Homo-oligomer: A and B are copies of this chain.
């Protein structure tokens, strides 16, 4: 980006262009540059890093104001980033912000998250990117305190950039009567979901199964994890990256004779 130009800021989410969380993110981001929003036309929660390969995508300009342009897109959050970069925008965005998601993307949720799929798509492209999520599924959740911290975090990212191929996974505690205590830089909490499918029947008694589950935290109570931070009313930031290699296993597999 040129020194004397406003940065180009791309916004997306996974709850769809009508979500309150998206509007609250735009309210903050618009103060920092030229904003283009490309968001899914419907909610695409749980879409992870999915991309649309077997059908073509569409997009529509819905709103144009002095502050931003807003497009809806028929694809996933990662598709929105790709369509923005290679189809809608005339130049590469300088930063990508995704969210504010209605619901947690801490711990293992990061791998299922469409919000973070979009941020990771930015990281792959070498664009500093941040996903923001609030620990409430309420469509009318209160994002006001999160917005204050989002402004702080955006200012840092604009100032310092991020390590190439990384992005930030930012989660906000549910708003309570006490203010957030501050920000903690964390690692991703080790944990998993144990599913408990809810059986339903259609009028012809065909069974189908809704995903429900309960989360297990596998870490000792520990100030360094995002779950600990959130439980203690801190905003959590986990730097995440797109190299999934488990380097520690490379020598072990060689010793076990896989290459022999």
Name A's B-contacting residues (CB within 8 A).
43, 45-59, 74, 76, 78-79, 82-83, 85-87, 108, 110-112, 114, 117, 120, 124-126, 153, 156, 159-160, 162-163, 165-166, 168-169, 182-188, 190, 192, 194-198, 200, 206-211, 213, 237-250, 252-254, 256-259
Contacts and interface: CB of A to CB of B under 8 A. Distances in A.
A249 B238 CA distance: 9
Contacts of A196: 86
A239 B243 contact: no
Identify whether the interface residues of A are mostly helix, strand, loop, or mixed. Answer: mixed
A173 B110 CA distance: 31
Given A153-B258, A165-B190, A259-B185, A246 B240 contact: yes
Contact of A48 (B49, B165, B246): B49
A195 B81 CA distance: 11
B258 A111 contact: no
A52 B43 CA distance: 12
Given A207-B58, A245-B239, A48 B50 contact: yes
B124 A120 contact: no
Given A57-B211, A162-B249, A239-B245, A124 B46 contact: no
